[in-house]
Amino acid sequence: MQELTIALTPKSKIPLYEQIYTYIKQDIQTGRIKAKEKLPSSRALSACLEVSRSTVDLAYEQLVSEGYLESIPCKGYYACQIEELFRFQKETAAGFQTSVKAEPACDYDFTPSGIDLDSFPYGTWRKITRNILLDDNKDLFQLGDPKGEWELRKTITSYLHQARGVNCRPEQVVIGAGNDYLLLLLSAILGCNRRIAMETPTYKHAYKIFARLGFALCTIPMDASGMQASGLEQSGAGIAYVMPSHQYPLGIVMPIKRRLELLSWAAGEEGRYIIEDDYDSEFRYKGKPIPALCATDSRGKVIYLGTFSKSIAPAIRVSYLVLPEGLLRDSEAILHTFSSTVSRIDQMILNQFLKEGHYERHLNRMRTIYGRKHELLLGELKKMSHFCHVTGEHAGVHLLVEFTNGMTEREGIERARDQGVKVYPLSEYEIGNPGEGRGQTGRKPTVILGYATLPEKGIAEAAERLYQAWSGRKRENK
C-alpha cells in the first residue's frame, strides 16, 4: 500500500475533496500509482491529511465513478488498469489538431450577412426580459404549443397585415428557431419526394438544406424581373423557392406582373406551391413598399417564410411560417409531432417587444441608419463608374459591384484584400457554376458589398482603399 503525501491548500477556492481527487487521478494517469496497487483506507488517509473522513470518501467515490479506482468489499480501494483508455484519450485529442489556413486579417469587412448591432436596443430588451421573469410564471418553463405561443402568433398576424399586406389567422402561423428548422418542418409537411425550383444565383444555404433533406432540385433562369415562369413550367417542379421582395444576392425586386405569372403557374396544377422567403423586406430605399407575394395569393398557393434575424438580431433565432389554409388542414397532425424549438420566455419577450411598439421604433431607426450608409456607399461607388457598375441598390443591406474593365472576380478580391478590405464573389452563390461568374449566366465578374456592419467613417475609408485597389491609383480630392 502506497502512502500519499498530498499538499492541500485549505484557503483555496477548490474544495479539499477535489484537490485529493485531482492528485490521485494525475498519479494514476502518469503511472506513479500502478494498476492494481492498493490505496490507503479513507480512515488512514483522512488521519494523515488531517481532514474529515467524509472529505476523503467524496474523493474516492468520484474516482470510483470515473473508473480510476475499484472498491473491493472488505479489502479496500485499488487503482484500475487505465493505460489503454489513457492512450485513447491522447490520440483523440491529437486528432482534433487540424491545420486551418488562417485568412489574412482585414481592416474592413463588407460581409453581406451581418447587421448593425451597435444600434440594438439593449436597454429595452433587458427591461422586457426582467419584467417577464419577475412575473414568476411557472408555465413559461413548461413545454408550450408546438406551433408557438398564441400571443406571439397573434401579434405576428397583426404585424403582417399592417406591414406586408398578408391576411392570415394565428392558427396558420408556426414559430421556429430559424429558417433552417422551418425548412426541415416543411420537408415533413410537403414530403421530400418533390422537385424544388430555385433561382441561380440564390441563397445557397437554403439550397444545401433542401439537398440534404433529399429534395430533387433544379435551377430556373432569371431575367431583370426574377425567376421566369416559362422556365418553371418546363422544369417539372412542384415547388418554387423565391425571394420576390429582395432576391438574394442579386437584389432584384420582382414586379407585380412576374408575381402574377408565378401565382398562375402555381394554380395550374394541384399540389404546386411557392415558398416566399421574405427575409429582409423591411429595408427598402426606392419607391413605395411592395406587399408580399403572399398578400396577392387568393388560392392558398404561397407558403410565407419570415424572420426577425435581419431586423433585430441573428441570435434571436425566431422565424415563422404562414401556411395556406388547405395545407394547414392536411398538416396539423405533423405539426403537433414536433415540439416548439423556441423558448417560451424568448417568445414572450419578443411578443412584448412587438406589441409595445419597440420593434416599429427600432425598424424606423435602422432604416435611417442603413439609408445613410446606403447613400454614402453609393456616392463613393459612383466615383468608380469608369471601371465598375452598381446594381441591386433599391433594397436590403448590400450592393453588387460589376467590373467593366476586364478585371476578374479573383483579381478584384485579391486587390481589395491587399488593401485590407474584404469583399465577396457573386459566383459563390451560383448553382453548378462556381468560378468567375461568367459561365452559364454570362454575367460579368461581380463582387458583393454588405454595408450593415461597417460604421459610416469605415465605409468612406474602405471605399477609398477599393478605389486604389481597383483603379491602381489614389483618387484625387475635389
- Band (pLDDT 50/70/90 cuts) for residue 439 is very low
On the question of pLDDT at 1 being above 70, the answer is: no
Strand, coil or helix: 419: coil
Instruction: Report the distance separating Cα 45 and Cα 53, nearest Å.
Output: 8
Three cell numbers, residue 390? 452598381
What does the pLDDT look like over 326-341, one tens digit per residue?
999 989 899 888 888 9
On the question of pLDDT at 417 being above 70, the answer is: yes
The whole model's pTM is what? 0.74
What pLDDT score was predicted for residue 437? 42
Strand, coil or helix: 298: coil
What b/e sequence results for 162-200 when a residue is b if at least 16 CB atoms lie within 10 Å of its CB, and e otherwise?
A: ebbebebebebbbbbbbbebbbbbbbebbeeebebbbbb
- Band (pLDDT 50/70/90 cuts) for residue 318 is very high
What pLDDT score was predicted for residue 104? 64
On the question of pLDDT at 164 being above 60, the answer is: yes
Overall average pLDDT of the 126-154 stretch: 86
Which residue do the cell numbers 412584448 mark? 352
Contact call for residues 419 and 275 (beta carbons, < 8 A): no
Overall average pLDDT of the 212-217 stretch: 93
Query: Strand 302-307 and strand 222-223: pairing?
Result: unpaired
What pLDDT score was predicted for residue 426? 92
402 strand-pairing partners: 389, 446
What pLDDT score was predicted for residue 473? 60
Percent of the residues in the chain that have a pLDDT greater than 70, as a whole number: 90
440 vs 228, residue with greater confidence: 228
Three cell numbers, residue 279? 427575409
What does the pLDDT look like over 219-265, one tens digit per residue?
998 898 999 888 898 899 999 999 998 888 988 888 899 999 999 99
What does the pLDDT look like over 71-126, one tens digit per residue?
988 889 998 887 655 444 444 444 445 455 556 678 999 998 888 888 888 999 99
What pLDDT score was predicted for residue 311? 84
What pLDDT score was predicted for residue 440? 41
Percent of the residues in the chain that have a pLDDT greater than 90, as a whole number: 48
Q: Average pLDDT, whole number, for the chain?
A: 86
Q: Of 72-76, 423-427, 438-442, which gets the smallest average pLDDT? A: 438-442
Which residue do the cell numbers 444576392 mark? 249
On the question of pLDDT at 405 being above 60, the answer is: yes
DSSP label at 439? G
What pLDDT score was predicted for residue 5? 79
CA 295, 296, 300, 304 dihedral sign is negative
Instruction: Report the distance separating Cα 430 and Cα 428, nearest Å.
Output: 6
- Band (pLDDT 50/70/90 cuts) for residue 433 is low
